[in-house]
Amino acid sequence: MAVDDVTLHKMAQRLRRDCLESTSAAGSGHPTSCMSAAELVSVLFFDEMRFDPRDPTGRDQDVFVLSKGHAAPVLWAALKEAGCIDDDLLGLRRFDSRLEGHPTPRVPWVRVATGSLGQGVCAGAGMAWARKLDRSEGRVFVLLGDGEAAEGSVWEAAEFASFYRLDNLCAIFDVNRLGQSGPTMYQHDLEPYLARLRGFGWEALAIDGHDLRAVKEAFARARATKGKPFGLVARTFKGKGVSFLENKDGWHGKAVKKGEELSKALAELGDTSVSVKVEPRRYPPSRPSGAGEPRVEPKYKLGQEVATREAYGAALATLARTAPQVVALDGDVKNSTFSEKFKEAAPDRFAEAYIAEQNMIGAALGMSTEGKIPFASTFACFLSRAYDFIRMAAYSRPSHLVLCGSHAGVSIGEDGPSQMALEDLAMMRAVLGSTVLYPSDAVSAERLVETAARTPGIVYIRTSRPKGKVIYDNGEAFPAGGSKTLRSSPRDRVTIVAAGVTVTEALEAHETLAKGGIAARVIDLYSVKPVDEATLRKAAEETRGIVTVEDHNVWGGIGDAVAAAVAGRTRMEVLGVREVPRSGKPEELMKAYGISADAIVEAAKHLA
């Protein structure tokens, strides 16, 4: 049911009042950034969007993403006034409140955490893509600021949304002219935003963001647009409605002081006594493809030479058949990551993200909020470009998000250091709640893909370029948090802990040491996080020292994981890359940088 303009105006003023009062009570926040968006939010929540205030799942409803996360108070106010939450708005930013300074999923209406700018449109594009896949009529609205439009990820998402014709996506640019430290790049010139959106293939419209009739008509046009995403570029004023705040520099991130200053601001807003009952409005039920038990079917022979990246692709293709909730994304390297095998098996569930890794991760996160299990693949080194997105994904607490980094380490060979990803294990271990998996052969690679598909949260799989011999039986299980002891005896004097390509080197070193009368235990630490502490501590107690060897730099990877687990119980030698590498053959590089079988033997002798 349509809401009249007088009521919507009062609601906009009410939202401004809520934001001023809550930030003043907190003593911090961004009230002026909220006030510029009040009419946009008022029309969205109380007139345009179809949703059920009792159901935050978003299923067969419109959903909202606040990309300009510092304006969280206006979101909390809209949710409270719409009857979605009953939290005390004056508890904003308190430790005992769900209403945090930037949106997080502690409030279930928040689908992804925001606040690191430029990410909301990426997530929104992923949601819209997933909704197209499920034939859901629900739309996705994203509110972003003009300041964050300087982020390249916004335009990565714009390309993606246009390419996939996501006409269920509406991005709203709150062009309020002022950033944190001064005016934004184009201030109130709306033309650059329109030109960019149209250049990327969007339908775009400029309006006065405080004109309720114009805002309503713009959203009606967005809903009627077919075949293109819609961009609404709204000219607004920061601090709108209060004379000493409106369009004034120096107020970003500052709350109005309690007392006379707050009273003066509230008085200028006038009558804000208004209530709008939001009736539940849904779309016809969609028909997602359903869910299945993720399972793989490795069929390898012992001794067969297969790269773990190839096995990863084979496992993805099997998941395409066994688990329809799995979708895949790739950064234009699908013929190297072998995710192309998933595309061959289920082309409608494959999204080519092209060379735009930030948007790839953001879109994958958005897909995860729609009940999908995204597998996003690229070269491991390029995931560092998207690390802020991965970090924010952790704060979004996704139900499931799998990342695969291939071509890791000096073992890639001739491509050289720019492609080698010597930091990714450290990077992914540092992500809160992450699981980090590193297969050594084709069987473990396939089984760990299955494990990843069954493990909630953010999971990272590290795959390798070189072919390696299959060492495990097809039926071997690889649970997260486990390890495999490949060689062991009561006479073991030293333990060698390896993962990935260095497992083969460790087994070769074991044979050489045995010939010299030194018994060595060999552990495949395929789960780098969580790590198998019990097995490692037992090895620390039963042998004279531990040698770790990894195709990664020596900081933050397997060596540090093992050292933390054994906590000083034994001596250690940590083998890994310690200097900037160069191009060469894989075997040359592994020897030159001290992670070959020969280096393991020398380190083991030193300890034994």
**Which residues carry out catalysis?**
357
The β-bridge partners of 374 are 327
Largest CA distance in the chain: 89
Name the phi and psi angles at 389, rounded to 5: -65, -40
- Other Cβ atoms less than 10 A from the Cβ of 285: the count is 10
For residues 13 and 268, the answer to whether their CB atoms sit within 8 Å is no
For residues 250 and 203, the answer to whether their CB atoms sit within 8 Å is no
CA distance 112 to 120: 8
What DSSP state is assigned to residue 118? T
- Helix, strand, coil distribution of the chain in percent, nearest 5: 40, 15, 45
Cα 401 to Cα 36, 308, 361, 404, 424: the distances in Å are 34, 20, 9, 10, 17
Angle at 536 between CA 532 and CA 539, to 5 degrees: 150
Q: Burial level of 9, CB count in 10 A (0-12/13-18/19+)?
A: middle
Name the phi and psi angles at 176, rounded to 5: -100, 10
CA distance 402 to 328: 9
Determine the length of the chain: 608
The strand pair at 484-487 and 520-524 is best described as antiparallel
Q: Burial level of 22, CB count in 10 A (0-12/13-18/19+)?
A: buried
Tokens of 151: 């982020």
For residues 37 and 67, the answer to whether their CB atoms sit within 8 Å is no
For residues 462 and 307, the answer to whether their CB atoms sit within 8 Å is no
Alpha-carbon 230 to chain mean position: 24
Write down the number of H helices and E strands in the chain.
Answer: 21, 19
For residues 441 and 312, the answer to whether their CB atoms sit within 8 Å is no
The identity of residue 235, as a single letter, is R
The β-bridge partners of 403 are 376, 460
> Could you tell me which residues come within 8 angstroms of residue 6 by beta carbon, excluding any fewer than 6 positions away?
none
Please, how many CA atoms are within 13 Å of residue 33, restricted to the half-sphere of its CB?
A: 31
In 356-500, where does DSSP find H-type helix? 357-368, 387-395, 424-429, 442-454
The strand pair at 545-553 and 494-498 is best described as parallel
Tokens of 46: 């109380």
